[in-house]
Amino acid sequence: MSKRETVVVPQEEIVRQKEFLHLIRELNLGKLKKYSISTFGCQMNENDSERLAGMLAEMGYTESQKTEDSDLIIYNTCCVRENAELKVYGHLGSLKRLKKQNPDLIIAVCGCMMQQPEVVEHIKQKYRHVDLIFGTHNLYKFPELVYSSMMSGKTIVDIWESSGFIAEDMPIERKDGVKAWVTVMYGCNNFCSYCIVPYVRGRERSRGLKDIVNEVTVLGQQGYKEITLLGQNVNSYGKDLGEDISFAKLLYELNKVDGIERIRFMTSHPKDLSDELIYAIRDCRKVCNHLHLPVQAGSTKVLDEMNRKYTKEQYLELIAKVKENIPGISLSTDIIIGFPGETEEDFDDTVDVMEKVRYDMAYTFLYSKRTGTPAAKSTEQVSDDVKKHRFDRLLEVQNRISKEINDELLGKEVEILVEGLSKNSNTTYTGRTETNKIVNFKGSSELVGKLVRVRIDKVQTWSLEGTLI
């Protein structure tokens, strides 16, 4: 057996799951069954929820906007930071009443939180009205689990500890008609000392290159214009395939797919950003001029304690190389504030990196202690007050830089991909530049999914306003 075959779910198993889809559809026949899914966390979870939605559609369920009138409620959870977990418990508590009113209601919880045994135990003890608990590795078994729950009426718990298998060919119902997420790899091998992801998402597993190209080809035929390739560390793509495959090669392949106009990807780890990948971003017309390259912290001491495997200087050199090779590239980052032991001087280094790189955008997070990770054991936890103070300081710096970068676009013409109506408006449409900047403009529905040119006539920190030309 090749390395690959050991991780791909066998076709017979997929067929078996599809049989469960049809069995449930028959049970639901003639009944108006509705579902709702609440998704927490990253785009990968959003993409998993699209898969759940695809399976639910085949089971005969339609989506409801309201939790209260649903027959099947799913919480797809995240455990990267504590506040996402607390929200889930809050929601689960409030469902008790609904379950009392409708005993046939199926309540399911899945996703990263469920890969932690103490969470599952807590839910089993404290939220007895939950019917179905499953994890991240066996999402494709959802049809069988729903069927078992319907038949037995008992709580079904199915969590796989080891890194899961990759299931191809399961149904999917995507949220958007212009942009699509495509997961290219699962898991992470990096074990940054603050992060729970490697424990709950398992080791790195790449999808086959052909499977990805096929998925994107179909998306192109369906009229999708933009894809975002997802993975915890996309730069490692292919390393487990045992063939001469890399993320850069995947980009060159996808660049040829008809219909697709833009390719984005996230997330990249600085230690794995190869020259080959930098050249691929530069040379592939469809790969957007934007790189999300989380720095996490500026201080070399903190980076070492985070197990990031680069120094402040190495990160800055890498950014210089990227800028030199890809002029005009926009850059974004993730930053953690208040990692254990972070001193004021360490934090100054983070501010310094921000000033030197001049990111277009930064996602800043307060450090959240995650049980089971090495950093959680540190006795040098930073107080909430200090974290909040540093957060405000960083935000001020980033807001200024973002505005200054955007100001340079005033009066300029840019190309945007039109995504749809902007929130709370019937006439204002919204799109994004290749560099991932939001542009609002007066337009019409036939422009959705098209690349149009606009002149920027107003600039804000987080968005731009323009006029069609």
Q: Which residues sit at the interface with ligand SF4, rule CB under 6 A? A: 188, 190-192, 195, 197-198, 232-233, 269
- Residue closer to ligand SF4 (CB basis): 191 or 462: 191
268 forms part of the interface with ligand 5AD (CB under 6 A): no
- Residue closer to ligand 5AD (CB basis): 381 or 463: 381
Compute how many other C-beta atoms are within 10 angstroms of the C-beta atom of residue 325: 14
235 forms part of the interface with ligand 5AD (CB under 6 A): no
**Considering the complex, what minimum distance in angstroms separates the CB of residue 368 from ligand SF4?**
12
Among 370, 390, 432, 437, binds ligand 5AD (CB under 6 A): 370
As a whole number of angstroms, the distance between CA 431 and CA 418 comes to 4
Which option in ligand 5AD, ligand SF4, none does residue 81 bind, with CB closer than 5 to 8 A by kind? ligand 5AD
Q: Which amino acid is at 468?
A: L
Kindly state the tokens that stand for 333.
């980052």
Q: Tell the residue number behind the tokens 């390393």, with chain if given.
A: 239
Q: In this structure, are residues 312 and 303 in contact, taking their beta carbons and an 8 Å threshold?
A: yes
Which option in ligand SF4, ligand 5AD, none does residue 312 bind, with CB closer than 5 to 8 A by kind? none
**Considering the complex, what minimum distance in angstroms separates the CB of residue 444 from ligand 5AD?**
37
> Which among 464, 429, 424 has a CA at the least distance from the CA of 443?
429
Site string for ligand 5AD, 294-323 (x = CB under 6 A): x-x---------------------------
**String of b and e for 435-445 (b: at least 16 CB within 10 Å)?**
bbbbbbbebee
End-to-end CA distance of the chain: 57
Kindly state the tokens that stand for 124.
């089993």
Which option in ligand 5AD, ligand SF4, none does residue 269 bind, with CB closer than 5 to 8 A by kind? ligand SF4
Which option in ligand 5AD, ligand SF4, none does residue 370 bind, with CB closer than 5 to 8 A by kind? ligand 5AD
Among 17, 116, 136, 368, binds ligand 5AD (CB under 6 A): 368
**Considering the complex, what minimum distance in angstroms separates the CB of residue 326 from ligand 5AD?**
22
Piece of the chain touching ligand 5AD by CB under 6 A; list 204-212, 217-225, 360-368, 395-403? 360-368
As a whole number of angstroms, the distance between CA 60 and CA 199 comes to 34
> Which among 458, 426, 459 has a CA at the least distance from the CA of 442?
426
- Residue closer to ligand SF4 (CB basis): 297 or 448: 297
Q: In this structure, are residues 393 and 451 in contact, taking their beta carbons and an 8 Å threshold?
A: no
Burial class from Cβ neighbours inside 10 Å (0-12, 13-18, 19+) for residue 268 reads buried
Q: Which amino acid is at 268?
A: S
Helical segments of 360-440, H only:
384-407
336 forms part of the interface with ligand 5AD (CB under 6 A): yes
**Considering the complex, what minimum distance in angstroms separates the CB of residue 232 from ligand 5AD?**
9
- DSSP-assigned beta bridge partners for residue 245: none
Chain residues that interact with ligand 5AD, rule: CB under 6 A: 80-81, 194-195, 294, 296, 334, 336, 365, 367-368, 370
